[in-house]
Structure 1
């Protein structure tokens, strides 16, 4: 039995100005989200990128080839109505940030973590006013209340589209600091992704790389870079396809 697949029904997808912002139309008909809400986007660049995803669709629609559309739908249908809960969830990552948990042994891994992660913690202290505390092992490290408040304050001004991208950046990397660093343009997204993979890279160097694990890691890397691109486009910033 063959699985039903949606077929392309439009000729041209274009970005247009709307009263609320920017929209995408298929042969003049405006796109809506799965919840039937008008798909209104915050920037012309994001609208053009979403329109390009629809224009590039083959005869049989492949939703997997439309990551920006999926993220925009999520921002409107899921994140915007639950804004307070999303902010709280992301802020909680500050209490268990990946960068604060260091290996007790071997010394070579601990040194590599320090060389890679200490500069990012210094950045958070200087740029965000959030100095976090590090510990060895996996036991919980209590963070200063003032630092946690500062991290939350860095998240609260973000709109639903920025929060959607930040959610993926944080959950994929395990680090609120790295996610905010991407969102603020502190370093290249690829470089910040590599920082989140210090432990896995070291393990692969010691024991070899498992093909299945490597494929899963590559999927996560691409998703991380797509999230970075979504945030940039939502802000009206050029974001090349570099993955």
Structure 2
């Protein structure tokens, strides 16, 4: 039964205008979320991506090939009822942010982290007037509550759909500050992903590549790029 998948039953996929946005239809019937809500999204561009995913399904439906649909489902079914909890979870990353924890050695890694991550902290300070503290090693460094409150406010202006993309940018990169930099367009998504991988790339240079680890990293990279695209389309 593990190979079971719903079969494609529709011939036509279309987009229609609805209150507050756009919906996708299959043979004239509205696509709905797993929670049975109307799958309506805020922009036509996002609806087009979703429609393309449904159109691309062949004999059997494969949800793994439908990231836009999955993200929209999450925005509607989960973010709309768990937004406060999601924001609490995400701001927790800022409290222990990747870019604030630096290696003590070797010197090459120390310098690479500083070169990549210091500009992130500098831009956050320039934009929001707060400076996040850094520390070497594993000892925690408490950030000022005021700084966290200011950075939390970034999420208040985001729609549920934007927060859905932002959530994945944060969790996949391990950094709230890198994610904010992406949303501000201070860092391009591809560069942001590389910044989140400084430690891993250093280890690869020292010890060589691992096929399984590379495959996992590529899956995460693709999800990260999708999240940035979903955010900008919201």
User: When the two structures are superposed, what TM-score results if normalisation uses the length of structure 1?
Assistant: 0.93
What residue number does 1:115 align with? 115
Corresponding residue of 2:190? 190
Residues 40 and 118 (structure 1), Cα distance of their counterparts in 2 relative to 1, 3 Å cut: same
Contact 1:128/1:154 (8 A) holds in 2: no
Distance of 1:128 and 1:28 partners within structure 2: 47
Q: Which residue of 1 aligns with 2:75?
A: 75
Which residue in 2 is equivalent to 1:221? 221
**Distance in 2, Cα, partners of 1:220 & 1:115:** 24
**Is the Cα–Cα contact under 8 Å of residues 124 and 130 in structure 1 kept in the other structure?**
yes
1:22 is paired with a residue whose SS is strand
Unaligned runs of 5+ in 2: none
Q: CA separation in 2, counterparts of 1:2 and 1:43?
A: 35
CA shift, 1:3, in A, is: 3.0
- Offset of 1:85 from its aligned partner? 0.9
> What aligned pairs does 1:153-232 form with structure 2 within 5 A after superposition?
153-232=153-232
How many angstroms does 1:2 deviate by?
A: 7.2
Q: Which residue of 2 aligns with 1:37?
A: 37
| Aligned equivalent of 1:142 | 142
Match of 2:90 in 1: 90
Structural RMSD (CA): 1.2
Distance 2:80 2:232 in 1: 18
Q: Once structures 1 and 2 are overlaid, which stretch shifts more, 125-134 or 44-53?
A: 125-134
Contact kept, 8 Å, 1:130 with 1:148, in 2: the verdict is: no
Q: Does 2:99 align with 1:99?
A: yes
Give the structure 2 partner of residue 237 of structure 1. Answer: none
Residues 13 and 25, structure 1, Cα contact 8 Å, conserved in 2? yes
Deviation at 1:19, TM superposition (A): 1.9
Gaps of 5+ in 1: 235-243
Provide the C-alpha distance between the structure 2 equivalents of 1:13 and 1:152, rounded to a whole number of angstroms: 39
Does the aligned pair in 2 maintain the 1:21–1:41 contact within 8 Å? yes
**CA distance, structure 2, for counterparts of residue 2 and residue 72 of structure 1:** 25
| DSSP-derived class of the 1:15 partner | strand
Provide the TM-score with structure 2 as the length reference: 0.97
- List structure 1 runs of 4+ shifted beyond 4 angstroms: none
- The alignment partner of 2:158 has SS state of coil
Cα offset, 1:183, TM superposition: 2.1
Is the partner of 2:11 in helix, strand or coil? Answer: coil
Aligned residue number for residue 5 of structure 1: 5
Task: Say if 2:135 is the partner of 1:130.
Answer: no
C-alpha distance in 2, partners of 1:185/1:22?
26
1:129 Cα shift? 3.1
